[in-house]
A and B are shown apart, each in its own frame.
Chain A
Amino acid sequence: MGYPAHIDYSLQLADNALILGHRNSEWTGHGPILEQDIALSNIALDLIGQARYLYQHAARLIGGKVTEDGSGGREVTEDGLAYGRDAWDFRNCLLVEQSNGDWGKTILRQFLFSAWQYYFYGQLRNSRDQELAAIAEKSVKEVTYHLRWSGEWVIRLGDGTEESHERMRRAVDELWKYTGEMFAPAAYEKELIRLGIAVDAGEIRPLWGEKVGEVFNEAGLEIPMTWMQGGGKDGKHTEQLGYLLAEMQFLQRAYPNCEW
């Protein structure tokens, strides 16, 4: 049996990656141009790949088997964790579950999260949990590219036409209030920070702020003054997550343990 805070933490990281990966995958076949459709689908695959490693880790901590062995639905598996939990069990940040909106909003959501993930994984490489450290080591390379790609798009659209600028400005207004949560540790995170397992996200805030400020500056975007909404890490989500899960989990809910 794993240590409960450790499980919550692994699930939080897995949920972040899965939910954003799924949101991005909603663009597959709908991208504004073929090349960008592929680019965002690649990012979706990277994130879902990260989610798999993290769910496998969580399943091991919980004490279940990682792979389905056909002995019935009671085993804890990566699939069970992704497709069998309800919205209040999910630990992801509110930012990643927000709807795609237009291309600008999708890009900005990716940029704000990739910037966080970049510094976060950078620190997680030093975790005393060897498995998390290894996942971070692998993932940081992928995220480096996500950050570069999304950052260039934020600049391109923010500093583009009147309309693209206006759309980016609206996206900033919609999403900024969900950024504070990424740096506010939940109770289970505080416990793990003391044990050297979790990253103290408060420490990466200045780095994140500097990176985001740099790109916003070049894009001609301003950081709004706003209150910050939280709760996702403790399972209190916006209405957006329910719709996403209804679609994502449908098949496994309707036909439990089905395979193809």
Chain B
Amino acid sequence: MHDKQWPLWEVFIRSKQGLDHKHAGSLHAADAAMAIENARDVYTRRMEGVSIWVVESKYIHASDPDEASSLYDPANDKVYRHPTFYDLPDELKHM
């Protein structure tokens, strides 16, 4: 058993007020059903959630931190991508 670790799962919890699921952490489980039960026991003990998603960690593909400068820096000087150049009519109150 010691050399056969259960796979790792990432857990996403939606809280009562929240609209979207947020990453809560990770845990080990033999399959998806057990991962959801474990998530319930590990991450919702203090009434944090009303909905749980789990996904096996190996299915998450991440961007490479070494490429950060080429991926994100080019957006730095492109303020025109923010919708801040419009004159809003006075009647609009909640923008």
Q: By the criterion CB–CB under 8 Å, are B41 and A38 in contact?
A: yes
Chain B residues with CB below 8 A from A42, complex form: 41, 45
Query: Given A34-B28, A35-B28, is A152 in contact with B34 using a C-beta cutoff of 8 Å?
Result: yes
Kindly identify, within residues 1 to 16 of chain B, every residue whose CB is under 8 Å from any CB belonging to chain A: 1, 6
Report if B48 contacts A (CB, 8 A). no
Q: Mark B14-55, 1 if CB is under 8 A from A, else 0.
A: 000000000000011110011001101110010000000000
Q: Which residue of B lies closest to A35 (CB)?
A: B38
Q: By the criterion CB–CB under 8 Å, are A39 and B30 in contact?
A: no
Q: How far is the CB of B50 from chain A (nearest CB, A)?
A: 15
Complex Cα gap A42–B37 (Å):
12
User: Which residue, of A35, A149, A152, has the highest number of chain B Cβ atoms within 10 A?
Assistant: A35
Query: Given A34-B28, A35-B27, A35-B28, is A152 in contact with B33 using a C-beta cutoff of 8 Å?
Result: yes
Partner of B42, one of A35, A145, A148, A149: A35
Report if A33 contacts B (CB, 8 A). yes
Report if A156 contacts B (CB, 8 A). yes
Chain A residues with CB below 8 A from B34, complex form: 152, 156
Q: Mark A7-47, 1 if CB is under 8 A from B, else 0.
A: 00000000000000000000000001111101100100000
Q: How large is the interface on A (under 10, 10 to 19, 20 to 34, 35 or more residues)?
A: 10 to 19
Chain B residues with CB below 8 A from A39, complex form: 37-38, 41
Q: By the criterion CB–CB under 8 Å, are A38 and B42 in contact?
A: yes
Complex Cα gap A86–B8 (Å):
46
Complex Cα gap A220–B3 (Å):
27
Complex Cα gap A63–B40 (Å):
40
Query: Given A42-B41, A149-B37, A152-B37, is A35 in contact with B29 using a C-beta cutoff of 8 Å?
Result: yes
Q: Which residue of B lies closest to A39 (CB)?
A: B41
Complex Cα gap A32–B34 (Å):
14
Complex Cα gap A194–B40 (Å):
41
Complex Cα gap A33–B5 (Å):
10
User: Which residue, of B27, B29, B41, B45, has the highest number of chain A Cβ atoms within 10 A?
Assistant: B41
Complex Cα gap A36–B30 (Å):
12
Q: How far is the CB of A161 from chain B (nearest CB, A)?
A: 10
Q: Which residue of A lies closest to B5 (CB)?
A: A33
Q: Which residue of A lies closest to B27 (CB)?
A: A35
Q: How far is the CB of A250 from chain B (nearest CB, A)?
A: 28
Q: How far is the CB of B15 from chain A (nearest CB, A)?
A: 19
Q: Which residue of A lies closest to B33 (CB)?
A: A152
Q: Mark A59-76, 1 if CB is under 8 A from B, else 0.
A: 000000000000000000
Residues of A within 8 A of B (CB): 32-36, 38-39, 42, 145, 148-149, 152, 156
Q: What are 26 A-B contacts with C-beta separation under 8 Å?
A: A32-B1, A33-B6, A33-B28, A34-B27, A34-B28, A35-B27, A35-B28, A35-B29, A35-B38, A35-B41, A35-B42, A36-B38, A38-B38, A38-B41, A38-B42, A38-B45, A39-B37, A39-B41, A42-B45, A145-B40, A148-B37, A149-B37, A152-B33, A152-B34, A152-B37, A156-B30
Top 4 nearest A-B pairs (CB, nearest first) are A35-B38, A39-B41, A38-B41, A35-B27
Q: Beyond the given A149-B37, A156-B34, could you list 5 further A-B residue pairs with CB under 8 A, ordered by the A residue number?
A: A35-B28, A35-B29, A35-B38, A35-B41, A36-B38
